[in-house]
Each structure stands twice: as structure tokens, then as C-alpha cells.
Amino acid sequence: MELRQLRYFVAIVDHGSLSRAARVLHIAQPALTQQLRQLEQELGAQLLHRSAQGVLSTDAGKVFYEHAQAILKQVGDAKSAVAQSTGKPTGTVALGIPQSVSGAFALPLLTAVRQTYPEISLQLTEELSGNLIEQLRSGRINLALLFDDGQLGAFATTPLVEEEMMFITRADSRFAVRGKSISLAKAVAVPLILPSVQHGVRPRIENIVRNAGLSIDHVIDINSIAILKSALQADMGATILPVAPVLSEIERGAMRAYPITCARITRTISLCASKNIPLTNAAVAVERLVLEVTKTLCASGRWLGAQSLMP
């Protein structure tokens, strides 16, 4: 198996067509087809379904595509690590950010990287935290902000912030709070729009509610932050989340966030890297900037509800 075969296969999947991939790769389509056939023979599995409309990955092809991407990413990182100097880091750095954090953190970090290290190309991946863990483990991303639920032992971690979760509604919602805060019992008595139990903050919320002798009876499960916000705007219910995902809506007065009394619900966000895959100089530089940007956002109050955990 050769690296060029991996590049060819990834290009075919990305472009959805042998002919389009051949044009991008600047090779003849028969030669590309032959390389694909050799790859499938070596693996002993069909990787693609071919049709007049293009190609689709088989189940085996989907698995191989993820590994091929990770291998090519690590090869590129290795080349960058050899070529770049510590004084002027260059190259591509892939950073994963959970959907519920990107609203507060993504733009400040992107701005800081462009100003401080213009030679670094920062690729931000916004995903559910569960998906980011697998991408970091396989080497498809260099760094990730992850929720520390006690299951991050496989990674090198640096705790960044502790975020307080609040009761959030549309500004003129029928579920809005008359005072400045709400008790946990009253918060869980209304219909709640929450991420599903497989991702994000839901297990943390349910554990605290259960320990308080309460239960959540009316839940709308939504894993997309965009759809969750639309459901809030439609006044289908309230949510219990950190402020970061709805920061812009709160700043313009479209939504309101209320502290929850009787039981403080928080989550810890850590910066994570692989223990097995070395970071390039560019990734180390971005790692340092993540810490600096986090401190600045917390100190200025721009990351609402977040308390820095760094000295």
C-alpha cells in the first residue's frame, strides 16, 4: 500500500466521482481506476459503489476513509515538523471545538492566530464532543476542547474553564423567570430542550437533578445547537446550558439566562492532545494561544459564566 493510493482514494470520496478526482489529481482516469482496484485487492474488500451518478463509500470504504485521512494528516504534520523552525511556526493545525463552546471561543481564537501566527493555517472543526474524541484519538485533529467527564485519561489534558449552566429562555417566553434566579425544582418542572444523553451536558444535568431527589419529566432531545436555539425562539420550552451557545442572542436581548439556585450545575472544559502523536511546532503555538485567549476572555468577562482554572 502506497501513500499515493491513500491520497487517490480520499480524493475520489471527497469529489464523489472518479472523473472529477482524476482531473483534480492530474492523472488519467484509467490509471486512477487501476490504483483503486489494486487497493481494493490488497485490502480484500470493495471500498466504493460505482454508478452513473458517481461513487459512494461502502461500509468498509467509510472505515478506510477515516484511517486514510488520519494517516495523511500525520504524514503532513511530520513534514511540517521537519521543515518549520521554532521561531516561525508554519503549517496547518486542526482544532476541534464542541458546538456549545464555539460561539464564545472560536472567533477570538481565530483572530488571535491570524494576528500572532499568520503563517499558520488554523482549521476549526465544530462537532459534538463525542465525535471530537474519536477524531483526536485517530489523529485527524491535533487538538480539541473537550468536556472533562472523567473519561479523558487517554489524552494529555489542561483544564481551561469551569462553566456555570443556567436556565435559558426566549426573552418574552411564557417560561421566563420573574425574579433574577430560579430554583432547580422549578427549572426542571417546565418542558426542557436538551442535548441527548450521548453527548454534551445532559448526563451532568441528570446526575445533579437525580441527586437532588428530582426528575426531568418533559424533554425535547435536540443535538444541534442551531435547532435547539430555533426551538427556544419558538418558545417550545427552556433549556439548561452554559451561556456560550446563546451568547449573541443574550447580548442582543433575544434570550435571557437565569442562575439556578439550590444546586450549582457546572462543566469543566479542557484542552486535549494525543499522548501518542507528537504536536508540531505550529500546534504547540496554537496550544499556547488557546491558553492565552481563554485567560483574556475570562478576565474581561466576555466568556459569560466561565471561570478560568489556569494559574
Domain boundary among 15, 37, 71: 71
Q: What is the mean pLDDT of residues 109-116?
A: 95
Is 77 a domain residue? no
Q: What is the pLDDT of residue 3?
A: 84
- The answer to whether residue 275 is domain-embedded is yes
Structure confidence by residue, pLDDT tens digits, 25-51? 888 888 888 888 888 888 888 888 877
pLDDT of 86 above 60 = no
Give me the CATH number covering residue 258: 3.40.190.290
Q: Is residue 78 part of a domain?
A: no
Note whether 119 and 253 are same-domain residues: no
pLDDT at 287 (0 to 100)? 95
pLDDT of residue 63: 86
Same domain, 145 and 276: yes
Structural domain that includes position 120: 85-161+268-308
pLDDT at site 264: 85
Please provide the average confidence, as pLDDT, over all residues in the chain: 88
Taking the C-alpha atoms of residue 263 and residue 244, their distance in angstroms, rounded to an integer, is 20
pLDDT value of residue 247: 87
User: If pLDDT is split at 50, 70 and 90, which confidence band does 236 have?
Assistant: very high
In terms of domains, do 140 and 280 share one?
Answer: yes
Residues 179-222: tens digit of each pLDDT: 999 999 999 999 999 988 766 678 889 989 999 999 998 999 99
pLDDT of residue 120: 92
For residue 24, what is the domain's CATH number?
A: 1.10.10.10
My answer on whether 124 and 242 are in the same domain is: no
Please state, in angstroms and rounded to a whole number, the distance separating the CA atoms of residues 47 and 39. Answer: 9
Claim to verify: residue 53 and residue 174 sit in the same structural domain: no
Give pLDDT, residue 6: 87
Span 257-295, pLDDT tens digits: 999 998 889 999 999 999 988 888 899 999 999 999 999
- What CATH number should be reported for the domain holding residue 95? 3.40.190.10
Asked whether residue 179 falls in the same domain as residue 205, the answer is yes
23, 47: one domain: yes
Residue 287 to residue 93: CA distance in whole angstroms: 10
| 150 shares its domain with 280 | yes
pTM for the complete prediction? 0.71
Residue type, 247: L
Q: Are 181 and 47 found together in one domain?
A: no
Residue 233 in this model has a pLDDT that exceeds 70? yes
The closest of 222, 258, 206 to 100, measured between CA atoms, is 222
**Tell me, what's the pLDDT at 209?**
93
Residues 112, 175, single domain; the answer is: no
Q: Is the pLDDT of residue 160 over 90?
A: yes
pLDDT of residue 199: 64
pLDDT-derived band at 239, boundaries 50, 70, 90: very high
Query: Does the structure show a pLDDT above 90 at 55?
Result: no
pLDDT of residue 290: 96
Q: What is the 3-state secondary structure (H, E, C) of the chain?
A: CCHHHHHHHHHHHHHCCHHHHHHHHCCCHHHHHHHHHHHHHHHCCCCEEEECCEEEECHHHHHHHHHHHHHHHHHHHHHHHHHCECCECCEEEEEEEEHHHHHHHHHHHHHHHHHHCCCEEEEEEEECHHHHHHHHHHCCCCEEEEECCCCCCCEEEEEEEEEEEEEEEECCCCCCCCCCCEEHHHHCCCCEEECCCCCCCHHHHHHHHHHCCCCCCCEEECCCHHHHHHHHHCCCCEEEEECHHHHHHHHCCCEEEECEECCCCEEEEEEEEECCCCCCHHHHHHHHHHHHHHHHHHHHCCCCCEEECCC
